[in-house]
Amino acid sequence: MKQKLLLCLAFLLSISLSYAQTLVRGTVTAVEDNSPVPGVSVLVKGTTTGTVTDSQGKYSLNVPAGSTVLVFKSIGFIMMEMPIGNNSVIDVQLKQDAKDLEEVVVQVPYGQAKKALFTGSVNQLSTKDFQTRPISNINNALAGVAAGIQASAGSGQPGDGPSIRVRGFGSINASNDPLYVVDGVPYSGNIANISPSDIESISLLKDAASSSIYGSRAANGVIMITTRKGTNKSQFTINASQGVMSRGIPEYDRVNAFEYYPLMWEAYRNSLSYGAPAASAIGLDAANARATAGIKGLLGYNPFNVADNEIVTADGKINPNARLKYPNDLNWADPLTRQGSRADYNLNYSGGSDKSDFFVSMGYVNEKGYLINSEFKRYTGRLNANFKPTKWLKTGLNLAGTVTDAKQANTVDNSSGYANPFNFARGMGPIYPVYARNPQSGELILDAAGNAQYDLGNMTALGLPSRPAGASPGRHIVAETELNKNLRRRNVLSARTYGEVTFLKDFKFTTNVSVDITSDLGIGYDNTLVGDGAPAGRANRANRQTTTYNINQLLNYSKTFNTHHTIDALVGHENYDWTFNYIYAMSQGQIVTGNDELGNFTTINSSTSYTDKYRTEGYFSRVNYDYDGKYILSASFRRDGTSKFARESRWGNFWSVGAGWRLDNENFMKSISWVNLLKLRSSVGTSGNDGILDSDGNRIYYAYPALYAFGQSYNNNSESGFIQSQLAANNLQWESNRSVDLGLEYGLLNNRLSGSIEVFHRKSDNLLFSVPISLASGLSERLANIGSMWNKGIELHVNADIIRKNDFRWNIDVNATMLKNRITSLPENNKPIISGSFRRAVGQSIYDFWLREWYGVDSENGDGLYRADQWVNNTTTKTYVIGQDTVTNNSNNARFHYAGSSIPDVYGGISNTFSYKRFTLMALLNYQIGGLALDNSYAQLMAGGNYGTALHKDQLRRWQNPGDVTDVPRMDEARRSFFNAASDRWLTSASYLSIRTVNLSYNFAPAVLNRINVKNASVFLSGENLWLFSARKGMNVSQQFNGIVNNAYIPNRVVSVGLNLTL
């Protein structure tokens, strides 16, 4: 009886316990792609009760009564807490934690490394950082994202991207571009050949410890691009976006036709009344009368409905009865611009197993720029496959093909030439029509076919007036842009393969072979109507063929001893071979209209061809060691040879050593729970730069031998011949860089606050300069390694989760770089070198402006004044003393001085990311504080009286009467060259704030997607180059690193909507 009673009590107890627990089950997936997350720890908060998700991300757990919260934890993901309530099914999506610092793996030369155990300075971007940005050139993704990385605004030409500088400027006359490495192989092609959709990660290597193993080409940093690979799960992904493109920076404020005529009247009047020379001056009343009667004759055109001699009254005012006869035909930018568009479509399929994986993609981009006849099309395809047939053998193949077709606006050299659309349209006075108009009625003049005719500004045969020299008579930018051709067609094939053998457990031998073949065809045509090719018409073809081979062999040894000692050693050999073939021909005298093939022209103007070859050979080694994850040591060595230099000087040695200390792993830090990562690191090393450039910015591949130029232009009577163009220079060698880096990396408060502080010093020696030689040699100069310079700075990076909750998260990422640059030695006993607007001298920076010193405006007569360099006293100039300052109104006698530098005090980026439930909003700001820009475009608009040229609104603040206090001299056509000469008057603050990109996305819930068998789907709205806040409207302040602002293609503003779908 007693036993039965005990059994009954046990049965009742088990029933009560079962009622005291609740079975909860569910699935844990990743927010990014809805993939299951195995191994997630699922715990009842405040207890030890828990479980782990299986390979499909599923779990089930008996939850004790009274429990309220489940906690989900997994390495690489943000911890999440979910209320239990009355739910029996709790599905969870975890967000990846980019700041799980202990586990972050970065791509480094010839391998990978844990960032926490790496002694070098490296930043890494993943595909999620740029996959929804409307960019075609991956360089656009680098601006503002990492400390030490500076990007120019570059050109807005569709498909183009900015130039990149890493930790300043390593050279004065050689290349400052970083080395690009794609899938482990140095890449010399156009980076626009690579679709951003095919990129998995980008590593930015900034110091010697991370980059010196690349030797003679790594002096300016390394940008490593790794393309995407397959994963164990098969999936098909569709990425599609469509958008619009428009001008990203507004035009300068310019005066209209009603303001323009009185200003030009005043310029003419003042040139008469002030006189140059002064003896020719006439009285003010007489000058007024002559200006009223003669201004139309000087400007050529009368767009108003009043008589030519009544446009401006005798007191310099516009006739109040004046009305424009053709108000909609005076803005030359209108027919040159359009609503641009952007389409980007990408399909990829990936999958794999334990034995293999694959990634296949196809992409199409079509960018139609806001400037007519500017367009970029790109077709891409990629196959990346890896195979592991045995435990000891792995092999793979990476094939990529790219076809690009570009229509390019004539803005490549940013010049002030007639054919530059931005220069022409900006500088055209607001009284000149685009199309030919009847001078009396203002009606269009049609051709025989009934079409409007372009007004070329010199069509007197039709009874039309002529434009003055300042309005480019005989040229017409709309006609030239529409009728001319400037096409680039590029076909690229890239192939990479490797074999990897693992032996003796800890050894691995790898061979990599790559081939890149590029065929680049340029097609040019200048029409027969107007411009450089008129009236005969002319055409050109330029064919560029580039073939690159790279082969390397790597032997790696990796071993952990006694659980505390880990060593990783590498030795290798690399051979790089580059060949470039160029053929060019130009012909003129078009026979049949509409055919621009060279055979349709009567005369060959020029033809040429040449071949360049370049090879490097390198032997290298690297050793990394860490003890118990606390103490880290690294060293590398490379011996490089390059074909650019003579045998006796072509080989060089490059090395680095680095050390790191993980303080957070020390016992004395264990009690400080809020410190998750604290690492000190330092490195020192050398690297080289063999990117020698000529005076036109083209690379030199034969720097040491004596060279001779062939052709007809070197001898009399156009007889063929040759002339020596370069003396032998057997002792010439590459420029060298020595870099020292000290950094502190930290992760605090469960990595909610992380970042780094770095100090660097980069010394460049053996800088290449052209030095004068005896004219008896037949030449005037030769190249020599003479000169040195340093860059030093501080880099700051802070990443913080301001709010981290289940439904809402706010993350902010800030980086800042403070950089100083100084020249320490120059050729010929450190004699300063003047180059354009810069004067390179010891103690100055590479971009210190050397300009006339503007003093201001004489309040008595409106003269522009400069601080004088010497005393000059004659009838055409005025030099006198104001206080202790000697000043002059003649720019030829002005004193030159160092007026400041284009190098900013601080530059960087600020990124804010807000996540609310399934919505994510990201905004990236770029900023620059300090530095100066030389605004040549503004200076052109401030030329006070160039008949026919447009004027800036600031001319309305000009001096007009004695006693006026202003910074704008009087309008005066005769003396405008003195008043508006190049000087520090045109320097403007280069500080700016740019809203670089804003992206709003929404990820659909799995419950919705599962019904239609979709793994992941998101939609997004994205904008690029949205706003720029700077000191002057219209100024492209970050156009170039040297601070020169001129007539480049203004960057595009892009707004697009898109869909990402994974099946």
Burial 272-288, CB ≥16 within 10 A → b, else e: bbbbbeeeebeeeeebb
Q: Where are the beta strands (DSSP E) in 228-287?
A: 235-247
Residues 361, 198 contacting (CB under 8 angstroms) = yes
> Residue 1039 carries which side chain, given as an amino acid letter?
Q
Domain ranges of the chain: 18-94, 854-894
Of 24, 22, 45, 39, which is closest to residue 94 (Cα–Cα)? Answer: 39
Res 730: pLDDT: 85
pLDDT band for 896, please (50, 70, 90 cuts): very high
pLDDT for the residue 613: 96
Tokens of 219: 């002096």
Question: Contact, 739 vs 686, CB < 8 A?
Answer: yes
pLDDT for position 465: 95
Q: Is the pLDDT score of 412 beyond 60?
A: no
Tokens representing 636 are 């590398």
Strand pairing of 185-187 and 179-182? Answer: antiparallel
Other C-beta atoms closer than 10 Å to the C-beta of 222 total 26
Q: What is the pLDDT of residues 308-339, one digit of tens each?
A: 999 999 899 999 999 999 999 999 999 999 99
Rounded-to-integer distance, Cα 166 and Cα 205, Å = 9
Amino acid at 367: E
Count of beta carbons in the 10 Å neighbourhood of residue 967? 13
pTM for the complete prediction? Answer: 0.89
Burial of 547 (0-12, 13-18, 19+ CB in 10 A): middle
**Helix H segments across 397-448?**
421-427
- Residue 5 pLDDT greater than 70, yes or no: no
pLDDT tens per residue, range 939-986: 999 998 899 999 999 999 999 999 999 999 999 999 998 999 999 999
For 1031-1062, how does the pLDDT look when each residue is reduced to its tens digit (9 = 90+)? 999 999 999 999 999 888 999 999 999 999 99
Which whole-number Å values give the CA distances from 216 to 184, 211, 578, 738, in the listed order?
A: 16, 10, 15, 12
Residues 6+ apart with CB under 8 A from 840: 172, 823, 826, 832, 833, 834, 846, 848
Half-sphere exposure of 618 (CA within 13 A, CB side): 32
Share the mean pLDDT of the chain.
90
Tell me the Cα Rg of the chain. 34
Per-residue b/e over 719-739, b at no fewer than 16 CB within 10 Å?
Answer: eeeeeeebbebeebbbbbbbb
Asked if pLDDT for residue 462 goes beyond 80, the answer is yes
Q: What is the pLDDT confidence band of residue 19, given thresholds at 50, 70 and 90?
A: very low
Task: Enumerate the H helices of 994-1056 as residue ranges.
Answer: 1006-1010
The pLDDT value recorded for residue 278 is: 64
- Running DSSP on this structure, what letter comes out for residue 268? H
Q: Is the N-terminal amide bond of 535 cis, ω within 30° of 0? A: yes
**Eight-state DSSP code of residue 807:** S
3-state helix, strand, coil in the chain (%, to 5): 15, 50, 35
Say what the pLDDT of residue 578 is: 96
Distance CA 1001, CA 1018 (A): 7
Residues across the chain: 1063
* Whole-Å CA distances, 1054 to 136, 479, 1057: 11, 27, 10
Query: Which structure tokens are listed for 41?
Result: 């720890």
Least confident of 65-79, 161-175, 389-403: 65-79
Q: Could you say which DSSP state residue 145 is in?
A: S
Question: What is the Cβ-side half-sphere exposure of residue 946, based on CA atoms within 13 angstroms?
Answer: 21
Q: What pLDDT, on the 0 to 100 scale, is given for residue 715? A: 52
> Tokens in use for 635?
């060293």
Peptide bond into 320 cis (omega under 30): no
Instruction: Name the region of 843 (left: φ>0; alpha: ψ -120 to 50; beta: rest).
Output: left
Write the secondary structure of 877-936 as one string of H (helix), E (strand) and C (coil). Answer: CCEEEECCEEEECCHHHECEEEEEECCCCEEEEEEEEEEECCEEEEEEEEEEECCEEEEH
The predicted pLDDT at position 11 comes to 44
Task: Please enumerate in sequence order all residues whose Cβ is within 8 A of that of 803, keeping only pairs 6 or more positions apart, or say none.
Answer: 809, 810
pLDDT at 15: 41
pLDDT, average across residues 342-364: 95
The arithmetic mean of pLDDT across residues 563-583, rounded, is 96
Residue 9 CB neighbours (<10 A): 10
Work out the angle between the directed axes of helices 257-273 and 284-299 (0-180°, nearest 10).
130
Q: Does the pLDDT of residue 60 top 90, yes or no? A: no
Looking at domain 18-94, what is its CATH homologous superfamily? Carboxypeptidase-like, regulatory domain (2.60.40.1120)
* Rounded Cα gap, residues 859 and 470, in angstroms: 28
Half-sphere CA count of 450, side-chain side, radius 13 A = 0
* pLDDT (average), residues 808-820: 97
Are 252 and 937 in contact by the 8 Å Cβ rule? The answer is: yes
Which of the two residues, 78 and 158, has the higher pLDDT score?
158
Q: Cα–Cα distance between 836 and 839 in angstroms, integer?
A: 8
826 φ, ψ to 5°? -140, 170
CA dist., res. 675 & res. 672, Å (int): 6
Integer CA distances (angstroms), 723 to 337, 608, 775, 779, in order: 47, 16, 14, 10
Q: Distance (Å, rounded) from C-alpha 130 to C-alpha 141?
A: 6
Q: What percent of the chain has pLDDT over 70?
A: 94
Position 883 scores a pLDDT of: 77
- Quote the percentage of the chain above a pLDDT of 90: 71
User: pLDDT: is 691 or 292 the higher one?
Assistant: 292
DSSP state of 699: B
Q: Is residue 899's pLDDT more than 60?
A: yes
CA 431, chain centre distance (Å): 37
Who has greater pLDDT, 902 or 713?
Answer: 902
Closest CA to 908 of 819, 776, 1011, 1039: 819
Q: Where is mean pLDDT largest: 52-66, 247-261, 822-836?
A: 247-261
Q: What is the pLDDT of residues 703-761, one digit of tens each?
A: 878 777 776 555 545 666 777 778 788 888 889 999 999 999 999 998 999 999 999 99
**Beta bridge partners of residue 469, listed in sequence order:** none
Looking at residue 102, its pLDDT comes to: 63
Pairing of strands 80-83, 69-73: antiparallel
- 89 versus 555: the higher-pLDDT residue is 555
pLDDT at residue 416, rounded to an integer: 64
Average of pLDDT values for 167-189?
92
**Would you say residue 413 has pLDDT above 60?**
no
Residue among 75, 91, 80 nearest 43 (CA): 80
- Tell me the C-alpha distance between 768 and 894, whole Å: 32
The confidence score (pLDDT) of residue 714 equals 55
Q: Among 182-196, 709-723, 920-934, whose mean pLDDT is lowest?
A: 709-723
Is residue 543 over pLDDT 90?
yes
Distance CA 300, CA 284 (A): 24
Distances (CA, A) of 1053 to 64, 187, 398, 454, 1024: 57, 29, 34, 30, 6
Residue with tokens 């045509």: 525
Q: What pLDDT, in 10s, does the model give residues 372-391? A: 999 999 999 999 999 999 99
How does 290-310 read in b/e, with b if 16+ C-beta sit within 10 Å? ebbebbbebbbbbbbeeebee
Mean pLDDT of the 292-307 span: 95
**1017 within 8 A of 974, measured Cβ to Cβ:** no
User: Beta strand 507-526 with 538-561: parallel, antiparallel or unpaired?
Assistant: antiparallel
Give residue-wise pLDDT tens across range 203-244.
999 998 899 999 888 899 999 999 999 887 889 999 999 999
Answer whether residue 41 shows pLDDT above 90.
Answer: no
Task: State the pLDDT confidence band at 698, using cuts at 50, 70 and 90.
Answer: confident
For the beta carbon of residue 938, count every other beta carbon within 10 angstroms: 19
Tokens found for residue 967: 């910074």
Angstrom distance (rounded) from CA 947 to CA 951: 10
* pLDDT score recorded for residue 20: 59
Mean pLDDT along residues 447-470: 94
pLDDT in tens, 90-104: 999 888 775 565 667
Q: pLDDT value at position 717?
A: 57
- Contact (CB, 8 A) for 464 and 481: no
Structure-block tokens of residue 606: 């020029």
Q: What one-character-per-residue DSSP string does 529-558 give?
A: SSSTTTTT-EEEEEEEEEEEEEEEEEEEEE
